[in-house]
Each structure stands twice: as C-alpha cells, then as structure tokens.
C-alpha cells in the first residue's frame, strides 16, 4: 500500500544480505524481472540469524551466491575467508553442523550485508555506483526467464557470477585465474556454475535485452577486475556475450 511505513524481517540468507536492503520494491513483468517498481526503504530491518537454521539446503546455497557476490564487489577478505572454510571430505560441501557453526558466528553475514549498505548509502537511487551490486544479475535474470524460472534466483546468480567473470577475462579486464577461483568457490558451496545446454544462447541474449540496466538500448555489464573491485562496461558486444554463454554451457 502506497506510503505505508513498514519493517523488513528477513528470514532467509538471501533476504538478509541482499533483498531486504536498499528500498527496492517492485513486481515482475512477463517481459522481465523487476521491471515495474520504485525505491521505498523500510523504517528498519530486523534479522535474526537463528532463523537460518530452519532453511532447506537449497535456499541456504541460494543465499550464499549473494554473499559471494558482495565479496567480489567489495570485500576481498570476506572472499578469502569463504575460500578457507572447512568443508566435508565427501563432496566438498558444508555439512549441516558446519553450517550451523558458521551461523552462530554471524560476523561474515554482517560483512556481506555491509558491502551493500555502504554502497546504497552513497547511491540510494542507483544512478552510478550502486549498479555494481548487479554483478552477475544481467545473466542471472535472463537465465531465470529462459529456464521458465526452473532456476532459482540464487542458482542463476551463481552461474551469472561465473559468466560475468569469464566475460571480464575475454575483455582482458581480469586475469584468467579469477574465473577458477570464483567457479571453485561456488561449486564447493554446492551451486551450479554451468548453463544448462538446453537453454539457447539466442534466447538468453533476447532476455538480456529487456534488462533495466541497459544504456541507450545497449547491454551494460558489471565485471570483476579483481576480487573486491568491479567495473561497469557499457556497449557490450553481442558476439562476445554469445561466446561467453557457449563457453559456460555444460
């Protein structure tokens, strides 16, 4: 309801570190995600990390994709910390007990959300720097649409982060070793990093063209330079995006 003050009480990891922060309110449209909306911040955000212990594993992993994104955007030490975590010997993923131990700590969640809080404070209406928080999301939103939303948002973001990093390497913005670091961390968390082969590059590109972050009708991508620093690239070449998509397919 218009003008009604409200408080956000996020109970998922994805909401705690990302969607509850920044005042974006909106709805999806058949042509794309979040195409209709406004900026209307909550009066407060109250996050009780104890609720995270009730999450299904898949939702935990989806939230972790946004944690990794924030680390790439603005906290290299957080990324290092995530890489150093203890994993199970079976398949390289967190166990439930390990997950709960890290939740009890909680400081890394604060670090992740602080990246967004500080950027939003400097650019509340996304006129410049705040666009950096869209790292991986131009690919991700298109993948959600083309998969008929069979891919969850967090799953698509994980793939999108690798695509954006691979594109940055193609543009000689970052070193090839960065793709390996990002892809390995996401895989160890349990997230897919490859685009399902049945999703056509042409349909993904078409969906990307509806992205609200376009500049003068041309694709704009946020690309990592190094961990902790990203750049915004306008007028992205279509053939380079297609090459990235094909390279990242299963």
pLDDT tens figures, 197-246: 999 999 999 999 887 666 667 789 999 999 999 999 998 999 999 999 99
* 237, 220 contact by CB (below 8 A): no
* 164, 171 contact by CB (below 8 A): no
Q: Which domains does the chain have, with CATH numbers?
A: 7-247 (1.20.1090.10)
pLDDT band with cut points at 50, 70 and 90 for residue 250: confident
CB atoms within 10 A of CB 101: 13
pLDDT, position 55: 87
pLDDT band with cut points at 50, 70 and 90 for residue 166: very high
**Across residues 91-112, what is the average pLDDT?**
66
From the list 159, 170, 166, the residue with the least C-alpha distance to 136 is: 159
pLDDT, position 14: 94
Burial class (CB in 10 A: 0-12, 13-18, 19+), 134: buried
Structure tokens at 165: 């990093």
| C-alpha–C-alpha distance, residues 181 and 128, integer Å | 27
Mean pLDDT, the chain, rounded, equals 88
């Amino acid at each position: 309801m218009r003008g009604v003050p409200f408080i956000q009480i996020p109970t998922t990891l994805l909401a705690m570190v990302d969607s509850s922060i920044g005042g974006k309110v909106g709805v999806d449209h058949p042509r794309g995600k979040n195409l209709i909306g406004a900026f209307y911040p909550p009066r407060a955000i109250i996050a009780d990390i104890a609720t995270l212990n009730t999450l299904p594993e898949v939702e935990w992993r989806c939230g972790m994709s946004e944690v990794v994104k924030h680390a790439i955007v603005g906290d290299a030490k957080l990324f290092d910390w995530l890489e150093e975590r203890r994993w199970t010997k079976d398949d390289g993923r967190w166990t439930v007990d390990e997950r709960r131990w890290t939740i009890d700590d909680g400081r890394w969640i604060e670090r992740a959300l602080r990246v967004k809080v500080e950027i939003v404070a400097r650019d509340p209406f996304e006129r410049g720097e705040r666009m950096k928080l869209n790292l991986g999301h131009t690919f991700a939103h298109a993948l959600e649409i083309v998969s008929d939303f069979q891919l969850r948002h967090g799953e698509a973001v994980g793939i999108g982060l690798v695509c954006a990093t691979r594109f940055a390497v193609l543009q000689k913005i970052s070193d090839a070793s960065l793709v390996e670091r990002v892809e390995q961390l996401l895989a160890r968390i349990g997230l897919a990093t490859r685009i399902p082969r049945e999703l056509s590059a042409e349909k993904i590109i078409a969906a990307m063209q509806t992205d609200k972050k376009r500049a003068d009708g041309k694709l704009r991508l946020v690309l990592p330079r190094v961990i902790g620093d990203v750049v915004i690239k306008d007028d992205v070449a279509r053939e380079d995006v297609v090459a990235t998509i094909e390279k990242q397919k299963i």
